[in-house]
């Protein structure tokens, strides 16, 4: 059994998608990051970085329970555990490269682009421009790579596509315009292909009935941006 520590946001969404695609049995533990539940000692024991997603695999290596945190680590762990969505072994260098490109580039710059558009104080035009342009640049790298390709790695659907989907699903918010993907037709095609999969609809339904906090008030800001409150 996998326990998925989940909040409805881009990085946890990738893992929910994998779990729905793979058919692995799992249960969801909601972590309301706007209420500060990511800082609870019990959750910090699973993810010392205090962010979602994280998992506990009750049957990890050697039959012992194992924690895994950080969406890319979780995707790789589960793909290796199940032997699914890793692509051809000959493409492993490509898979690792694109997974880490998303983990260290597309994802963080997208997150900061959202932060500076929606959460940062006014008057930070340089920072806003920097993160928006860098998010766009990462979209462009991926879009160029996808010219003439159906998937990010090799000929089939892999965890790299799932990982990209998690963030590209928020393209309008990241790039600050409703038709954000219009400038990236190859990425748009990949996004729409992944988005049409039945597992995506199931992943979107994960913890749908949980009353996650939606307002970003002072409590939420202190919970999500603790380094702003030294």
Ligand X SMILES: N[C@@H](CCC(=O)N[C@@H](CS)C(=O)NCC(=O)O)C(=O)O
Which residues contact ligand X (rule: CB under 6 A)? 7, 9-11, 33, 38, 51-53, 70-72, 103, 107, 224
Helix (H, G, I), strand (E, B) or coil at 11: helix
Residue 176 C-alpha from the chain's centroid: 19
Instruction: Work out the widest C-alpha separation in the chain, in whole angstroms.
Output: 54
- Which tokens sit at 205? 């339904």
- By C-beta, is 38 or 158 nearer to ligand X? 38
Q: How far is the CB of 85 from ligand X (least distance, A)?
A: 17
Q: How far is the CB of 167 from ligand X (least distance, A)?
A: 9
Tell me how far apart the alpha carbons of residues 213 and 45 are, in angstroms, rounded to a whole number.
Answer: 23
Q: How far is the CB of 64 from ligand X (least distance, A)?
A: 23
Paired strand residues for 2? 26, 57
Q: How far is the CB of 175 from ligand X (least distance, A)?
A: 17
- Cα dist. 192→19, 33, 89, 209 in Å? 20, 29, 26, 26
- By C-beta, is 55 or 190 nearer to ligand X? 55
- Which tokens sit at 112? 């900061």
- By C-beta, is 51 or 138 nearer to ligand X? 51
- By C-beta, is 117 or 186 nearer to ligand X? 117
Residue 120 C-alpha from the chain's centroid: 22
């Amino acid at each position: 059994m996998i326990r998925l520590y989940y909040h409805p946001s881009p990085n946890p969404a990738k893992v929910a998608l994998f779990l729905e695609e793979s058919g692995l049995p799992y249960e969801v533990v909601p972590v309301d990051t706007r209420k500060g539940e990511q800082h609870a000692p019990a959750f910090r024991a699973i993810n010392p970085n205090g962010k979602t997603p994280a998992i506990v695999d009750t049957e990890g290596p050697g039959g012992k329970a194992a924690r895994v945190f950080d969406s890319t680590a979780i995707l790789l762990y589960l793909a290796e555990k199940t032997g699914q969505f890793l692509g051809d072994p000959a493409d492993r260098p490509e898979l690792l490269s694109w997974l880490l490109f998303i983990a260290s580039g597309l994802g963080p710059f997208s997150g900061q682009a959202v932060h500076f558009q929606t959460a940062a104080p006014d008057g930070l035009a340089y920072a806003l421009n920097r993160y928006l342009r860098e998010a766009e640049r990462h979209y462009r790298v991926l879009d160029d790579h996808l010219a003439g390709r159906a998937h990010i790695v090799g000929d089939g659907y892999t965890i790299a596509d799932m990982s990209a989907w998690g963030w590209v699903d928020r393209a309008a918010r990241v790039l600050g315009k409703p038709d954000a993907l219009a400038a990236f037709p190859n990425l748009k095609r990949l996004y729409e292909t992944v988005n049409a999969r039945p597992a995506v609809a199931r992943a979107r339904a994960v913890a749908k009935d949980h009353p996650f906090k939606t307002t970003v008030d002072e409590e939420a800001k202190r919970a999500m941006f603790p380094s702003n409150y030294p």
